[in-house]
Structure 1
Amino acid sequence: MVNTIIGSGIFGIPTPLNAVVGRASPLAMVMAGLGIGLMMACAAEVSSRFTEPGGAYLYARTAFGRFVGIQIGWFSWLAPMGTSAAASNLFTSYLAAYFPFAGTALGRAAVITTLFAFLALANCVGVKVGANLSSVFTIAKILPLLLLIVLGLLYFAHHPQTFAQAQPAPAGISPWIDAMLLLSFAYGGFENAILPAGEVKNPRQTFPIALAAGLLLCIAIYSLVQFVSVATIGTAPAERPLASAAELLLGTGGAAFITVAAMISTFGHLSAVQLATPRLTYSLAERHDFPSVFARVHPRFQTPYISIMIFSAITCVLALSGTFRWAIAMASGALIVIYASICASLIRLRRMHGDEALLGIPFGPAIACLCIGFGLVLLARLTLREGFLLLVTFAIATLHWLVVRNRAYPQAIISEAGSAS
């Protein structure tokens, strides 16, 4: 749970979050985590009905039919593109601290292009290479954050004035809604942790404890890191906020330590997404719910090389055309669509199959409706540029559905506890 949520975003999100809600940003971290917890509960119930992999795409297709399923499949492709585009910009930003060329327009383009080309090649060669990269580059993710938290709290105990003098929280509710939109990106990824709910022994006892403990730990780490950022460097704009905080606490060595940790975590995120997402589109193409070209397999390496190359190429273009802030807003919008579809699936599946999920949450439909309504409010805060790709994705998915709607596709497999389809 912790591993799927805490990724590269925490190394870059303190600055844009401070710009929105000032020194109240640690509180925003807590509020966003609790809000995501409601969506997480809905997702846990829905996933406990299924034994077949597929995630939100499978849930939506089973609950609402092929049109909605295809839409969610395409959005499930867009969301990791946005997160990867943001992560690659963050990687380049931290790299530029020691290699200034990476901070120039030409250098940034060269670094991002090389990054995605390398990851695409590694995953085209074979899943083992991609999986090993994902493991190696995510080992050192949480330890630097814990060290920063401890040192930052000790610093605050002796220098509380920095936090007190930081930009106060703005008036009105709009900034808080914008903060929740940003933090949908930070807390995204929990759906990957709950996918095997239908295969877990005694999920009614296991899942509530595991999900609650994992979420509370993520909220604690995120809010404390945000607090330390404000308590050390304030709320002024900082291109590498955690590195700046570490430099204040430990000197240049501390900044270098956090910079390396940020680059390792970011690369780990990129390699994990590059490993998983093209294989999702390969699976969708096999079901005829994605263009058939995505199902092509390399004759030697037996990998979905077309899916890998297309994903890498489009993500690279998105990374080069936008900033970290733009990419996380776009990714957040796609994630909210996906999470709202899961909440809607809960309502529909309860009507179709009763309250027979392995894990049923109290007041499930009411919570699902609340989450859907909140998701719509967040989507309304997107600018035209941030929401443009969401509209394009919807249009492409609709055109694709018109082409394939009469083709046969496999039915979903629902666990016995959720009634067989």
Structure 2
Amino acid sequence: MTLQLERDAVLRRHIGPVALAAAVINGVVGAGIFTLPAAMARAAGAWAPLSYLVCAIAMSFVVVCFAEAGSRLPTSGGVYGTVAFAFGPAAGFVCGMLTWMASVLACGGIAGALADTVGTVLPGIAAGPGRALVIIVSIGAIAFVNMRGVREAAWMVTAATLVKLVPLLLFVAVGAVMVLSGSVPPPRPITAPHVFGLATAVLLGVFAFSGMETPLAASGEVANGNRTVPRALFGAMGFVLVLYVAIQLVAQSLLGASLGGQAAPLAAAAARIGPVARMLLVVGAALSMLGWIGSDILGAPRILFAFARDGLLPRVLGRAHRRTHAPDAAIVVHAVIAAGLALSGSFTGLVVASTLNTAGLYFLGCGAAWVLHRRRIQTVGEPVDFRLLPVAAAGGMVAMAVLIYVAPPAEILGLVGVLAASIALYGIMRGIGGRARPPVG
């Protein structure tokens, strides 16, 4: 069935495969990689690199589904649009809420990690009011830039993300050479983990591989989306897997058993290479975290804005500033909630909660891909057609269900609460404003 998408008619499809792949890498390789190796070591011990591979297998099902769905329906909103088309506006609203919740939880976790990283250089602000000040100032400043307009916000994000990969690639290259040459004395080896620790490591790993859904929200502006989306996804996620495993292996080889106790693990590992390397990692981590927060505050509040515009959230969130045209009310609400989470929660706890919301989002996305495949939906050009897409969709849905099952009970209840609240809110707002306008079509 060939589908015309009126909502994308005003957009210009200028994003190519290289640009989209770069955007996916920037979205997936978030600032968490600068702190995640320690959490992975605490949970999985010496098996942490293997945990990344397990996560990659689970995520490969999701990537296949998103690749075909994106080639069939490359619409603005990405997975939100495909879920809404496949299952209706109610499911689309739940999908959008899961996306926003995952974003705001991750933003809180990253902001807290930023404060911890700054604290390794300035110990006086590692805790208490100093740490709180770093969180509030960083989120507040980025929110202020976003409220000045999307152009300023985009430039800020671009400037920060350009330097993201440089310190990581240097860390892997120099660290590997020093370990293999014996220039660094071998550390005390990491012990094997408890089996339940592996489950936590897998949850953390899925968080590290998540984020592709945010760049895919711009699929309505992708040139030849039927081919560009799958090529960009496969290339980007393959690169990310190799990078993550290499970072974990080098960090473990440099720090050994002490890796799990580090607040800024890559900076501590780089310190064994030399003081210049350590400072490079600290600066790179801080800029990467600021860039990730900037990207989050650039995109996630637009979900609240879109919902309000469609009558599914209070109208004030759908307000745009008269001069800058930025959704200022939505930006402020998102920033305040993220700052509150950063001040009250730990990085690992917020990451696990964010991952569960993302698992729910991916579950819906895999199901939507299955529906699009079965109905032979296409928009621009001939889409990719994976013969085993139903198997991948079932595998992705089962993998996400297992991730939710092995999560801490409190986090599972939190996810159930988000789903229930989203459905109830959709029903209430539709009753107030009438039938919701579908986001696709």
Q: Kindly tell me: are residues 347 and 159 of structure 1, through their superposed partners in 2, closer, same or farther at Cα, counting changes over 3 Å?
A: same
| Contact 1:86 1:325 survives alignment (8 Å) | yes
1:226 aligns with 2:253: no
Q: Kindly tell me: are residues 293 and 353 of structure 1, through their superposed partners in 2, closer, same or farther at Cα, counting changes over 3 Å?
A: farther
Aligned to 1:140: 163
Q: How many angstroms apart in 1 are the aligned matches of 2:79 and 2:229?
A: 18
Aligned to 2:134: 111
State which drifts further: 84-93 or 112-121: 112-121
**Identical residues among aligned pairs (%):** 25
| Contact 1:15 1:235 survives alignment (8 Å) | no
Aligned to 1:247: 271
| Contact 1:137 1:268 survives alignment (8 Å) | yes
Task: Give the unaligned 5+ runs of structure 2.
Answer: 1-23
Q: How does 1:6-405 map to 2 (within 5 A)?
A: 6-159=29-182, 165-170=188-193, 172=195, 174-195=196-217, 200=222, 206-236=228-258, 237-250=261-274, 252-353=275-376, 358-405=383-430
| Contact 2:49 2:249 survives alignment (8 Å) | yes
TM-score, scaled relative to structure 2: 0.87
Q: How many angstroms apart in 1 are the aligned matches of 2:319 and 2:271?
A: 48
Spell out, residue by residue over 1:126-168, the C-alpha distance to the aligned partner (whole angstroms, 9 max, x if none): 2122112111111111111111111111122134997795224
Q: How many angstroms apart in 2 are the aligned matches of 1:152 and 1:43?
A: 35
Q: How many angstroms apart in 2 are the aligned matches of 1:312 and 1:343?
A: 30
Task: Give the unaligned 5+ runs of structure 1.
Answer: 414-420
| Contact 1:203 1:359 survives alignment (8 Å) | no
CA apart distance, 1:13: 0.4
Letter in 2 for 1:381: V
Aligned to 2:15: none
Q: How many angstroms apart in 2 are the aligned matches of 1:320 and 1:7?
A: 20
Q: How many angstroms apart in 1 are the aligned matches of 2:234 and 2:120?
A: 38
Q: How many angstroms apart in 2 are the aligned matches of 1:48 and 1:198?
A: 11
State which drifts further: 101-110 or 392-401: 392-401
Letter in 1 for 2:421: I
CA apart distance, 1:90: 1.1
Q: How many angstroms apart in 2 are the aligned matches of 1:373 and 1:160?
A: 45
Q: How many angstroms apart in 2 are the aligned matches of 1:347 and 1:226?
A: 34
Q: How many angstroms apart in 2 are the aligned matches of 1:336 and 1:208?
A: 20
CA apart distance, 1:177: 2.8
| Contact 2:184 2:254 survives alignment (8 Å) | no
CA apart distance, 1:375: 0.7
CA apart distance, 1:58: 1.8
Q: How many angstroms apart in 1 are the aligned matches of 2:286 and 2:37?
A: 16
Q: How many angstroms apart in 2 are the aligned matches of 1:408 and 1:157?
A: 64
Letter in 1 for 2:357: A
Q: How many angstroms apart in 2 are the aligned matches of 1:110 and 1:164?
A: 36
Q: Kindly tell me: are residues 232 and 312 of structure 1, through their superposed partners in 2, closer, same or farther at Cα, counting changes over 3 Å?
A: same
Aligned to 2:8: none
TM-score, scaled relative to structure 1: 0.91
Aligned to 2:19: none
Spell out, residue by residue over 1:35-59, the C-alpha distance to the aligned partner (whole angstroms, 9 max, x if none): 2122011011112232431122222
Q: CA RMSD in A?
A: 2.4
| Contact 1:66 1:405 survives alignment (8 Å) | no
Q: Kindly tell me: are residues 56 and 201 of structure 1, through their superposed partners in 2, closer, same or farther at Cα, counting changes over 3 Å?
A: closer
Letter in 2 for 1:408: R
1:411 aligns with 2:438: yes
